[in-house]
Amino acid sequence: NYRVSMSGNDLNRRYQSPHPKLHPIVCAVKKLIKDEKPDMFVEENQILAFIDKHGHSRNKNVFMYGPQFPIHDARYLKMIVMPKLMSESTEMFRFFSCKFRIQKSKEKTARVVLWREFNLMNCFTLEASFQGFFDHTRQTRDFVHHHFFQIGEIMGVTLFEYVIMREEDERVS
């Protein structure tokens, strides 16, 4: 089973209250973020994003799950920038498959717990489908290893563009 650790636990469902002996990786991730972000009330901080990468068993394409803000909240628009930038860089990423809401079954996942506990604006799960993606002709194409390298490169470029946008926004403000 690809979802469990050596202790038989789905680590992505242990972020709310990890046990140091059974979930040491989860404890280490949370400690790292806490050490880098001592003031959880500061909106902009040293941590640009937390992006947890997963495989998705049903939906096609690459897409993200993210935090939930009301659509009229300025944070909603700030939060959707990264997924939107990625969607404009490749046909493999589908913005309209992204979801920005929290289901009850996801309450203990990394992206939800880290967003709530540490006030991380860009806290996402990046999903890549096991079923492939729709190309520009709407044909399904299987993912092969170079597609995942491309997604990684696009994510790097997206982070870079996001930093430039943020710096420009600060300069204008």
Q: Which residues are catalytic?
A: 127
How many Å apart are CA 118 and CA 158, to the nearest integer?
22
- Compute, in degrees rounded to 10, the torsion defined by CA atoms 104, 108, 112, 113: 140
In 3-state terms, what secondary structure has residue 141?
strand
Nearest to 109 by CA among 17, 8, 7: 17
Helices (H), 7-123: 24-36, 74-79, 81-87, 110-118
Place of tokens 């300025």: 74
Contact 66, 98 (CB under 8 A): yes
How many C-beta neighbours within 10 Å does residue 93 have?
26
Count H helices, E strands: the chain? 5, 5
